[in-house]
């Protein structure tokens, strides 16, 4: 099957430019065509999270409807398949009707291309180090921000892709330009400084996808009080800040805390419930009743 790219070098540049800026991109491909339609299987176009497009799958209301579906896929961060009719009548429950008059039905597959997610660690201490290791193993771009260069350096945290360290941690935070797709974990330890970092983030124009703070009850109360006194909307704090951080697995050591935190980040990143699914009882009962299947999955 011939693949119809808009223009190989041009589309690659277009996609890479957006991924490098942290943007999500939906790739739309026609996989099947039944009857008459403007373009055939293999035709591709691209849509970024801002609604910009590259290429075409045929134009008209058909393309407009598919672009709307691509935006939904980007929002959900999950691929999807859709059937689209080249006619107005909605004859089938699983087919999207359009104002087209070609008469055919087209199946499109929409995949979501994701940039390398950034794991931003505020702090370079005992918990940050295993977090950096795990983040790198899980293919995140690891960024470390701290006010102590003697701790935030390549010798101490070799897994870090970027390190920003000086006595003025707020200025260092400005340099990384937080993005809405970032995962930010505050593990510095200095409650007053962490409160200032949070004020900076809450007052920014862009809010990260995950904002977690390592804190016990006393320090958390201190920081929340500081945020409220500085005028931060309590509803925004309630909806955006997570503390304590990490899935509740009884973590105690820095390494255990790091594992719990990365598990929580993966849960959010993948859009799952994070529930352990033990299927042994279910399948064992099927086998004991004689209704089990022996194929491997």
DSSP string, 58-120: S-HHHHHHHHHHHHHHHHHTS-EEEEEESSSS--STTEE--S--S--EEEEEEEEE----EEE
Closest CA to 74 of 38, 5, 123, 22: 22
Instruction: Give the per-residue pLDDT at 283.
Output: 85
Instruction: Give the per-residue pLDDT at 21.
Output: 81
* Prediction pTM value: 0.73
Helix, coil or strand: residue 26: strand
Residues 134 and 196 in one domain: yes
Helices 169-176 & 191-202, crossing angle to 10 degrees? 40
User: Which of 114-123, 225-234, 266-275, 287-296 is the least confident region?
Assistant: 287-296
Kindly report the backbone phi and psi dihedral angles of residue 198, in degrees, each rounded to the nearest multiple of 5, phi listed first: -65, -40
**pLDDT (tens digit, 9 = 90+) per residue, 15-68?**
998 988 888 999 999 998 777 777 788 899 999 999 999 999 888 888 888 899
Residues 179 and 239 in one domain: yes
User: Residues 171, 173, 178, 182: what is their CA dihedral angle, to the nearest 10 degrees?
Assistant: 180
| Average pLDDT score over residue span 272-294 | 81
Instruction: Give the per-residue pLDDT at 7.
Output: 55
The verdict on residue 134 lying in a domain is: yes
Instruction: Give the per-residue pLDDT at 99.
Output: 58
| CA–CA gap between residue 54 and residue 155 (Å, rounded) | 43
Residues 243 and 198 in one domain: yes
| CA–CA gap between residue 5 and residue 112 (Å, rounded) | 17
The verdict on residue 152 lying in a domain is: yes
| Average pLDDT score over residue span 199-220 | 94
Bridge-partner residues for 141, per DSSP? 118
Which of 57, 78, 113 is a domain's end point? Answer: 113
Residues 134 and 81 in one domain: no
Q: Which two structure tokens, joined as six digits, stand for 225?
A: 């009080």
Domain count along the chain: 2
Residues 33 and 160 in one domain: no
Which of 84, 113, 142 is a domain's end point? Answer: 113
Per-position b or e across 256-270, b if 16+ CB within 10 A of its CB:
ebbbbbbebbbeebe
User: Residues 189, 191, 192, 198: what is their CA dihedral angle, to the nearest 10 degrees?
Assistant: 90
Domain of 212, CATH number, reads: 3.40.50.720
pLDDT over 80 (residue 88): no
Which of 113, 139, 170 is a domain's end point? Answer: 113
| Average pLDDT score over residue span 291-296 | 57
User: Residues 99, 101, 105, 111: what is their CA dihedral angle, to the nearest 10 degrees?
Assistant: -50
The domain in which residue 90 lies consists of 8-113
pLDDT over 60 (residue 5): no
Q: Which two structure tokens, joined as six digits, stand for 39?
A: 């373009």
Residues 124 and 264 in one domain: yes
Residues 230 and 135 in one domain: yes
Proportion of the chain above pLDDT 90, given as a percent: 61
**pLDDT (tens digit, 9 = 90+) per residue, 180-199?**
889 999 999 999 999 999 99
Instruction: Give the per-residue pLDDT at 26.
Output: 95
Instruction: Give whole-number Cα distances, 90 to 59, 61, 169, 260, in Å.
Output: 20, 14, 58, 48
Instruction: Give the per-residue pLDDT at 1.
Output: 37
Instruction: Please answer whether residues 44 and 5 qualify as being in contact, where contact means their C-beta atoms are separated by less than 8 angstroms.
Output: yes
Residues 149 and 261 in one domain: yes
Closest CA to 243 of 224, 269, 268, 263: 224
**pLDDT (tens digit, 9 = 90+) per residue, 117-142?**
899 999 999 999 999 999 999 999 99
């Amino acid at each position: 099957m011939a693949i119809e790219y808009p223009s190989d070098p041009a589309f690659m540049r277009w996609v890479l430019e957006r991924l490098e800026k942290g943007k999500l991109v939906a790739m739309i491909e026609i996989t099947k065509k039944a009857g008459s339609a403007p373009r055939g299987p293999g035709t591709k176009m691209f849509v970024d999270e801002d609604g910009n497009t590259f290429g075409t799958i045929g134009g008209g209301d058909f393309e407009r409807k598919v672009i709307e579906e691509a935006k939904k896929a980007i929002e959900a961060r999950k691929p999807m398949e859709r059937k689209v009719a080249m006619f107005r009548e909605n004859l089938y429950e699983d087919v999207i009707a359009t104002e087209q008059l070609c008469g055919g039905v087209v199946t499109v597959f929409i995949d979501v291309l994701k940039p390398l997610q950034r794991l931003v660690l505020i702090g370079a201490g005992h918990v940050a180090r295993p977090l950096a290791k795990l983040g790198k193993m899980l293919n995140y771009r690891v960024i470390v921000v701290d006010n102590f260069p003697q701790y935030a350096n390549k010798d101490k945290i070799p897994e870090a892709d970027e390190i920003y360290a000086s006595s003025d941690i707020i200025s260092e935070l400005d340099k990384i330009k937080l993005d809405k797709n970032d995962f930010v974990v505050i593990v510095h330890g200095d409650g007053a400084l962490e409160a200032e970092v949070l004020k900076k983030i809450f007052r920014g124009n862009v809010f990260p996808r995950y904002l977690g703070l390592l804190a016990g009850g006393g320090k958390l109360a201190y920081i929340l009080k500081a945020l409220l006194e500085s005028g931060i909307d309590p509803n925004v704090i309630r909806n955006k800040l997570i503390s304590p951080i990490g899935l509740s697995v009884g973590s105690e050591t820095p390494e255990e805390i790091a594992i719990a935190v990365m598990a929580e980040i993966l849960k959010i990143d993948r859009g799952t419930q994070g529930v352990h699914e033990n299927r042994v009882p279910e399948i064992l009962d099927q086998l004991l009743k004689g209704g089990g299947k022996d194929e491997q999955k």
